[in-house]
Structure 1
C-alpha cells in the first residue's frame, strides 16, 4: 500500500495558523485536533512489509504546526517477499514544527525504515521525536533503521542513521537495546553536552539532539525526558 499525507500550515488573520492544504489517503487519515495540532489516524492495519508512507509538511513563516498520532504503529512482516516497510517524512519549515508521533513497534521478522528530512528557513524551529520498540511482548525483535537529516540554508546541521535489530552491523545480542528514543531540536534552545543512564544529549548549531536506549521503552523515554526537559531559570 502507498500512502501520501500532505499538509501546509500558513499564518492567517490575527496570527492564527490556517491549513489551506490537508490531504491524506491510503493508510492514514488526518484530523485537526487543536488550533495548530493535527493527529494522524491509521485507517489500515500495519504498516506491512512493502508498504510506503510519504508525509510532506510545509510550515510557512509565522505559522505553527504540531503533528501527533492517535496510537502506536505496529510494523508487521509481509506474506510475500521480505521487503521493508518505509516511512519518509519531508518537512520544509520556515515557522515552527513539533513532530512527535506515538511509538513504532517492530514485530519479529519485520524490517522498518524511517526517514526524516527537514529543510529549515532562517527562523525555522523544529522539534522531532522518535520512539521505537523492537518486538512485542514475548517475541524476538524486528529491525528498525532510522535516518534523520536536518539542513538550514544548505548547511547540514545533522545527518545520522541508527540501525537496530537482527542483521544490523552493530547489533550484538543479547545486549543489543530493544528500545530506543530520540529528540532533535533546532532553532531556539542551545544546550551543552549532558549524559544520563544510557542516554546522551549533544549540541547542534542553534539546538541539540538527544538519544536514549535500553531494554524497556518506558525507562528509555524517562531517561530521555530528564535530558530534554525545559531548563529552569535561576534568579
Structure 2
C-alpha cells in the first residue's frame, strides 16, 4: 500500500501558526490536535512488507509544527518472500519542527527502512526522534535500517545510516542491540557526552544523541540522561 501525508505550517495573524494543508491517504490519517500539533493516526494494521509511506512536512518562517503519532507502529512481514516496508519523511524547515513519533516495533521476518531528509534554512530549528524495538516479547528480532540526512542552507550537517537486526553488516552478536533511541537537534549547540551504551555528539549549532540496548525502556532512559546534560554554553559559564 502507498501512503502519502502532507502538512504545511505557516505563520498567521498575531504570531499564530496556521495549517493551510493537512491531508493524508493510504494507511495514515492526520489530525490537528493542538495550536501547533498534528497527530498521525493509523487507519490500517501495519506497515506490512512492501508498504511505502511518504510524509512531507513544510514549516515556513515564523511557524511551528509538532508531529506526533497516537501509538507504536508494528511492522509485519508480507506473506512469502517479504520485501522491506519503507517510510520516508521529507521536511523543509524555515521555522521550528518537532518530530517525535511513538516507537517502531519490527517483528520477526520483517524489514523496515526509515528515511528522514530535512532541509533547513539558516535560522530553522529541528528536533527529530527515532525509537526502535526489534521483536516483540519472546520473539526473534526483525531488521531495521534508518537513514538521516540534514542540511542547513544547502550545507550538509549530518548524514548517517544505522542498520540493526539479522543480516545487517554491523549487527554481530554479542554486539547486537535490539533497541535503538536517537534524537537529532539543530538550533542550540551542546558538548560531547558519553554514557553507558549512549553518546551525545556535537553538530554545527546542534547535537545528535543515541543509545542502544536490549529493551527500549532502558535505552530511552539512557538517552534522556544525555539529553538532560546542559548545553555547552551553560557548562562553560
Q: Same fold (TM over 0.5)?
A: yes
Q: Distance in 2 between matches of 1:61 and 1:230?
A: 29
CA contact (8 A) 2:190 2:207 kept: yes
**Residue number in structure 1 paired with 2:203:** 204
Q: How does 1:1-235 map to 2 (within 5 A)?
A: 1-187=1-187, 189-229=188-228, 231=230
CA-CA distance at 1:43 after TM superposition? 0.3
How far apart, CA to CA, are the structure 1 residues paired with 2:100 and 2:76? Answer: 21
Tell me the distance in 1 between the aligned counterparts of 2:177 and 2:190. Answer: 26
2:190/2:230 contact within 8 Å kept = no
Deviation track 1:143-183 (CA, whole Å, cap 9, x = no partner) reads: 00000000011110000000000000011124400000000
Distance verdict in 2 for CA 1:230–1:17, change over 3 Å: farther
RMSD of the TM alignment (CA)? 1.3
CA distance in 1, matches of 2:93, 2:147: 18
C-alpha distance in structure 2 between counterparts of 1:222 and 1:155, whole Å: 32
Kindly tell me the number of residue pairs found equivalent between the two proteins: 234
Structure 1 runs not aligned, ≥5 long: none
State how far apart, in whole Å, the 2-side matches of 1:9 and 1:190 are. 25
Shift of 1:225: 0.4
TM superposition outliers: structure 1 runs of 4+ over 4 Å = 232-235
TM-score (norm 1): 0.97
